[in-house]
Structure 1
Amino acid sequence: MESEYVTTPFGRRSMSLAMLLKQRRGEAIEAGTTRNKWKLFRSVCEARAGLDVTDRALTVLDALLTFYPEDDLSSEKPLVVFPSNAQLLLRARGMAAATLRRHLAVLVEAGLISRKDSPNGKRYVRRGREGGIDEAYGFNLAPLLARATEIEAIAARIAANRQMLRAMKERLTICRRDIAKLISAAIEEAVPGDWERASSMFHALLQRIPRAATLENLAPILEELETIRLGVINTLETQEKIRIASTNESQNERHIQNSSPESTSESEPGLETGQEAGRHHEPREELDSHEPGMAGNGGEGSGAMAPRNAGRLNSFPLGTVLQSCPDIVDYGPGGAIASWRDLMMAAAVVRSMLGVSPSAYEQAASVMGLENAATVMACILQRGGCINSAGGYLRDLTRRTERGEFALGPMLMALLRVKSLADSRAGT
């Protein structure tokens, strides 16, 4: 529906081009458009911030809607209401006349209603012989119906943003609580780490949280808080894995490569096993206090005990492991590895970095032994570019070890050859 003429204001109120455009746009309603007036009013209340109207102006709009006789606003019916000043003041909750006029002007300026002034400025209706309305002068609700789709979209967007902001505030509250309690626990239990610096960064970030929070100013702060929380959790998990590895080492001393009580922890068998050992070094027999039959002759004892040795790997000198896998050194305590314990600590860090699950690494340590599992992690790190899934590869090596089909010697020798070839090429 579109008006056939322009309504100019009565009295001293001036006409402007903006008023003309709003009037024409507000009266351009698509045919068949209908809305329940109270549902549309709730949408206006929801979209109040986007429409730039006050709560008192909404009280006046509510009063105007009560004068429309039907529940549905329709483009096929007249949309002009014409209450007297006295009745409008009563339904506007006893609002003062000057205040009422001011908020009516706000509704007109916001494009939610328009004025249709009579020749003398009064609000009245002229009816035909059959009692129908021929002409009405007052406040036109057509702009409200014309903008119904726009108002509903604004209301939906504001409601969605409010829900997102509520969820973001909840996440921020939980994140603040997690960081505060985790740092406190780390300090109380003397977990190694720069907790004073982490606490200082945390409290500095909290000072940036604005009083009037919005999606735009809260999102970057929440992202930084979650980064701090992730860093704290990773540090605590790494320390816990190191502690578990150290505990397992003390509880499983039988896996240490040299079973002689008087020998040092660095005294280990040679690199090659089986026929490879015969080609490069004099055979050395693997002594194990739990396998007494293995102290016999090198060739016969080894062959006789092969089924019972399934799942057991020979250990190798730490120097050989580091020579074959130099990349692991960077992950040791202080960027150095001086003992098997340092290697196991570095392996725990690498395990987490490569995405190997704790269960996969614990199973490998149970089957291979702590030192050998750490050695295998060093090899996987060294060959990182050739392995798609470090966790899957480790599980496969564990299964092969259980079947007696895997030995560390060939893997270390292959890495040594690759390193030697690379060094020779660099020298040329």
Structure 2
Amino acid sequence: MERHYTTTPFGRRPMSLGMMATQVAAKAVDKDATVHKWHVFQHVREARDAIGATDRALAILNALLSFHPDTAFNGDSDLVVFPSNEQLISRANGMSPATLRRHLAVLVQCGLVIRRDSPNGKRFARKGPSGEIEQAYGFDLAPIVARAEEFKELAEIVAAERRALKLARERITLCRRDIVKMIATGLDEAIPADWRRFQRAYEDIAGRIPRTAVRQVLDALAGELEALWFEVQNTLETFVNSQNKNANESHFERHIQNSKPDSKNEIESRLGKEKEASGNVAETDNVRHLPKRELPLGIVLDACPEILALAKGGEIRTWRDLMAAAATGRACLGISPSAYQEACEVMGEDHAAVAIAAIQQRVEHISSPGGYLRSLTTRARDGKFSVWPMIMALLRAKLDTSRLSGRGVSSASAGLETAGKVVQTENGLAISDALQRSLGKTHRQPPGRG
């Protein structure tokens, strides 16, 4: 006997075109179609917002699927299950009867199940003489087979949207972090730019970021933040490139200075001379006999111990520490920032710091430290100045003072030995011939004066 399935719900429940469309799709399913019911349920769970299902409705759908003994659903299978409300409540984690009825209606409205109501609204199955089910009244799970591909596509779309939303949030987070820290760097380093405008623009965009928003809104805000990020980043990169260019030019100029074999005059005279004390540096060339290597930090500190008082913690271990102490010394000496910046551009930051340390060491003999530094900068630009002779002059003065006071060269020899200008003799340390000549000495120091 041919089965007859009702198409309208029992009692006062109304019929809708959506229910009819679901039944039409269930009838049109390919008889050879086979799906894994739990795989389809997973797709339905991932796409529940697009489908319109609630979490409670999915709990009931999970219970309904568990009442069917087969895992693989076929297009020609009888997929009607008929559990009682008590059985559904038990498998749906004990929800109330009213909640059960409400969310069963949601499953029907979403087209996940079809009602096959009996004449009296009860759920049951009628078996034939052979024990097979001839007629069943309850919930038809045929849409699980008929709409399996649709549910899979919806799940993929939802997953892609979720990934896009996550990426939009990550873009916003990264841009916000970078912009805040780059603006702080620009303000701290006093880089010339309108940082207050950048800060106001950032605050305006950040103030429009909602707690929860659709991806399109977040994408638009992320685009605004990225445009601001690019502008701030470009400002910093332009400044850094200009500084690197100046440093490279200064480094190149120093190489030219160090390679001059025919300079007109001898090494720069002592810093205590009256002409230099007034800030009017003589137009001489002090780069005649320069070492081919960089000036060791130990020699600088041995020649200029006064700079240690300006260092943080009273210690200078690296060139960076010396440059930080020189920045403090520049302010203490009354040298303008522009004069020091010009010296850094022409000499390089390390040699400018050495010049500041030397000026600090002999500050009582220099009436205008700022004018003196500008004069040194002008000579360095013309290739007529290097910090090597300046430090050697300070060391020579220290050696002369130590010799007169009977203390020998012990305090200066450690730094000079680092530069390769002190030699070891049988009786102790002695100044090498090269250093004697570079310091203008006409006689050797007797061996044993350590």
Q: 1:48·1:54 contact (CA, 8 Å) conserved in 2?
A: yes
Where 1:39 maps in the other structure, the secondary structure is helix
Does 2:230 correspond to 1:230? yes
CA deviations on 1:95-126 (whole Å, 9 max, x unpaired) are: 11111111111110111101001122211111
Q: AA paired with 2:136?
A: A
Q: Give 1:168-183 correspondences, 5 Å limit.
A: 168-183=168-183
Where 1:252 maps in the other structure, the secondary structure is helix
**Aligned-partner Cα distance in 2 for 1:73–1:5:** 19
The structural deviation recorded for 1:233 is 1.5
Query: Which segments of 5 or more consecutive residues in structure 1 lack a partner in the other structure?
Result: 262-288, 291-340, 342-428
The match for 2:160 is 160
Residues 75 and 24 of structure 1, relative CA distance in 2, 3 Å threshold: same
Residues 122 and 227 of structure 1, relative CA distance in 2, 3 Å threshold: same
Q: 1:26·1:111 contact (CA, 8 Å) conserved in 2?
A: no
Q: AA paired with 2:110?
A: A
Q: AA paired with 1:170?
A: E
Q: Give 1:19-418 correspondences, 5 Å limit.
A: 19-253=19-253
The structural deviation recorded for 1:221 is 1.1
Q: 1:111·1:144 contact (CA, 8 Å) conserved in 2?
A: no
Q: AA paired with 1:227?
A: A
> RMSD of aligned C-alpha atoms?
2.7
Q: 1:57·1:104 contact (CA, 8 Å) conserved in 2?
A: yes
The match for 1:274 is none
Residues 66 and 118 of structure 1, relative CA distance in 2, 3 Å threshold: same
Q: 1:182·1:232 contact (CA, 8 Å) conserved in 2?
A: yes
CA deviations on 1:153-176 (whole Å, 9 max, x unpaired) are: 101111111122212222221111
The match for 1:9 is 9
**Aligned-partner Cα distance in 2 for 1:85–1:181:** 60
Where 1:126 maps in the other structure, the secondary structure is strand
Q: 1:9·1:15 contact (CA, 8 Å) conserved in 2?
A: yes
**Aligned-partner Cα distance in 2 for 1:192–1:14:** 73
Where 2:53 maps in the other structure, the secondary structure is coil
Q: 1:191·1:239 contact (CA, 8 Å) conserved in 2?
A: yes
Larger Rg: 2
Where 2:176 maps in the other structure, the secondary structure is helix
Where 1:181 maps in the other structure, the secondary structure is helix
Deviates more, 1:206-215 or 1:97-106: 206-215
**Aligned-partner Cα distance in 2 for 1:182–1:75:** 62
Q: AA paired with 1:213?
A: A
The structural deviation recorded for 1:29 is 1.1
The structural deviation recorded for 1:180 is 0.8
**Aligned-partner Cα distance in 1 for 2:201–2:110:** 46
Q: 2:29·2:146 contact (CA, 8 Å) conserved in 1?
A: yes
Q: AA paired with 2:158?
A: I
Q: AA paired with 2:97?
A: A
**Aligned-partner Cα distance in 1 for 2:16–2:204:** 53
The structural deviation recorded for 1:82 is 0.6
The structural deviation recorded for 1:6 is 4.6
The structural deviation recorded for 1:243 is 1.6
CA deviations on 1:324-367 (whole Å, 9 max, x unpaired) are: xxxxxxxxxxxxxxxxx9xxxxxxxxxxxxxxxxxxxxxxxxxx
The structural deviation recorded for 1:18 is 3.9
Residues 186 and 133 of structure 1, relative CA distance in 2, 3 Å threshold: same
The structural deviation recorded for 1:4 is 6.9
**Aligned-partner Cα distance in 1 for 2:95–2:105:** 15
Residues 13 and 251 of structure 1, relative CA distance in 2, 3 Å threshold: closer
The structural deviation recorded for 1:13 is 2.5
Q: 2:46·2:155 contact (CA, 8 Å) conserved in 1?
A: yes
**Aligned-partner Cα distance in 1 for 2:57–2:170:** 33
TM-score, normalization by structure 2 = 0.54
Q: AA paired with 1:19?
A: M
**Aligned-partner Cα distance in 2 for 1:49–1:161:** 12
Q: 2:18·2:111 contact (CA, 8 Å) conserved in 1?
A: no
Residues 153 and 246 of structure 1, relative CA distance in 2, 3 Å threshold: same
Residues 246 and 131 of structure 1, relative CA distance in 2, 3 Å threshold: same
The structural deviation recorded for 1:214 is 2.5
Q: AA paired with 1:36?
A: H
Q: 1:27·1:143 contact (CA, 8 Å) conserved in 2?
A: no
Residues 40 and 87 of structure 1, relative CA distance in 2, 3 Å threshold: same
**Aligned-partner Cα distance in 2 for 1:236–1:153:** 46
Q: 2:37·2:144 contact (CA, 8 Å) conserved in 1?
A: no
Residues 189 and 16 of structure 1, relative CA distance in 2, 3 Å threshold: closer
The structural deviation recorded for 1:5 is 5.5
- Structure 1 runs of 4+ off > 4 angstroms? 3-6
**Aligned-partner Cα distance in 2 for 1:128–1:178:** 74
Q: 1:6·1:20 contact (CA, 8 Å) conserved in 2?
A: no
Where 1:163 maps in the other structure, the secondary structure is helix
**Aligned-partner Cα distance in 2 for 1:4–1:122:** 16
TM-score, normalization by structure 1 = 0.57
Q: 1:26·1:143 contact (CA, 8 Å) conserved in 2?
A: yes
**Aligned-partner Cα distance in 2 for 1:88–1:152:** 26
Residues 39 and 178 of structure 1, relative CA distance in 2, 3 Å threshold: same
**Aligned-partner Cα distance in 2 for 1:29–1:177:** 53
